[in-house]
Structure 1
Amino acid sequence: MGKTSAFEDVVKPVRITTGPVTLDGDLAVPEGARGIVVFAHGSGSGRRSPRNRFVAETLHEGGLATLLFDLLTEDEERQERFTRHLRFDIGLLAGRLLDATDWLAGQPVAGGLKVGYFGASTGGGAALAAAAERPEAVAAVVSRGGRPDLAGEDALARVRAPTLLIVGGDDTTVIALNRQAMARMSAAVSLEIIPGASHLFEERGALEEVARLARDWFERYLAPAETGSSGR
């Protein structure tokens, strides 16, 4: 699962203020970026998640910019280990994701790019809840082993962004929850089940397939059509 250092070479540490707290992030914008993907991590994870960082590197190879940031502060993460009171607070997580999206809009290097969300675990629910609030700002969503059901029926019905749900074939409970969420969505939505993969996609080749599917989806919906091109 090795990658070159091209992605890390362009990563810029950033800080994003949301409500009373400031969150750390890593912004990577390749030259000629064709869109930007904001990552929403699940509980107990953050901008340094090796799985999401691997996906971000793959997106970078496809000419897409990325923003990985911590949805919780270090103090909140420490409390969460004992109380588990924030991991399912989708309203809080979605609100912070929206604040990060607003922050991006004011950055010269990324302000003109179409925005996509990549959510993992409970971050999948947060990504869809946020997309429902900003249909004009969010152009695509991908969920990896996510809990889109946590966004709630009202939010799911209001999502307009084309959505890709990726679930491991052995993650049967989450497959069922994703199917339930799909039934409540009116946006274009697709479910990809990776055979033999578990919830964390640790099996050989599973995460590579997640990254490929995500890159193809975001390239389709975020990358501007080339003038004079007949498209793919």
Structure 2
Amino acid sequence: MKREQSFDAFISPPGLAGTLTLPENPRGLVAFAHGSGSSRFSTRNRAVARELNARRFATLLFDLLTPQEERDRSNVFDVAMLGQRLVATADWLQGLEPAVARLPVGLFGASTGAAAALMAAAQLPHRIAAVVSRGGRPDLAGEALPHVGAPTLLIVGGADVGVIELNEEALTRLGGPKALEIIPDATHLFPEPGAMDAVIEHASRWFERYL
């Protein structure tokens, strides 16, 4: 049994659309921060969310920018602003029904969304319980990295040249429990056969361990 609720989140600015999915007796909630050029309809993130739902995690897929804001491409790469949107979203979740508000929260970030997730985790050390980055740019979180206490998993493709090195460097700066998983032969968006399955399994296990 699960129930799915669509909503307009009352986050500043209002109108950030998203979908909250609540399985029966959820063990935690994972909010998704998509990367540049993506949205809450990302097929990859939705695949991750479906598996998390099957493992009794609630999921929140939502847009970090309004349609008007998305027209300005600089907003897509403003990770500080996107991080504040995630902080506001965590506050919004705490205002929902107690069955949702009490759940431990994890963040799943892709591309620039990974940096936003880490910046939010640094600001909310007692609220964010775990972070997973898929093909992310954690290096863009900059000085926030040492302040991230939440257990963080960085997942990167083995053929994602350049991004691997950025993840390895960011890993050394993260403050809390941390790990790096490299998916052999996978490129940035993990389109290779079995690559996304590996991402989903690593992410699911991380959230099962820390949420």
- TM-score normalised by the chain length of structure 1: 0.88
Residue 94 of structure 1 corresponds to 83
For 1:19 and 1:111, how far apart are their aligned partners in 2? 19
2:105 pairs with one of 99, 115, 130: 115
Q: Secondary structure at the match of 1:132?
A: helix
Contact in 1 for aligned 2:33/2:117 (Cα 8 Å): yes
Aligned position for 1:137:
127
| Secondary structure of 1:209 counterpart | helix
Q: Percent identity?
A: 54
Q: Deviations over 1:187-207 (max 9, x none)?
A: 111000000111000111111
Aligned to 1:162: 151
The answer for the alignment partner of 2:165 in structure 1 is: 176
Q: Distance in 1 between matches of 2:13 and 2:153?
A: 33
CA distance in 1, matches of 2:7, 2:13: 17
**Equivalent position of 2:53 in the other structure:** 60
1:164, 1:50 → 2: CA distance?
21
- Contact 2:32–2:107, Cα closer than 8 Å, also in 1: yes
Of residues 195, 199, 202, the one that matches 1:210 is 199
Q: Distance in 2 between matches of 1:216 and 1:136?
A: 21
Q: Distance in 1 between matches of 2:133 and 2:92?
A: 22
TM-superposed deviation, 1:10:
2.7
**1:29 maps to 2:18:** no
CA-to-partner distance for each residue in 1:166-203, whole Å, 9 max, x for gaps?
00000021100001111111211100000011100011
**Alignment partner of 1:12 is 2:5:** yes
CA apart distance, 1:76: 1.8
Matching residue of 1:226 = none
Q: CA RMSD in A?
A: 1.1
Find runs of 4+ consecutive structure 1 residues off by over 6 angstroms: none
Q: Distance in 2 between matches of 1:124 and 1:87?
A: 12
**Whose radius of gyration is greater, 1 or 2?**
1
* 2:187 aligned counterpart, secondary structure: coil
What stretches of structure 2 of length at least 5 have no aligned partner? none
SS class of match (1:85): helix
Is the CA contact 2:158–2:187 (under 8 Å) kept in the aligned structure 1?
A: yes
| Aligned AA (1:114) | P
From 57, 62, 65, the equivalent of 1:69 is 62
| Match for residue 182 of structure 2 among 165, 190, 193 | 193
Question: Per-residue CA shift, 1:109-132, capped at 9, x if unaligned?
Answer: 411100000000000000000000
Aligned length: 210
Q: Which of 136, 147, 153 is 2:137 aligned to?
A: 147
Counterpart contact for 2:8–2:14, Cα < 8 Å: no
Letter in 2 for 1:49: S
SS of the aligned residue for 1:186 comes to: coil
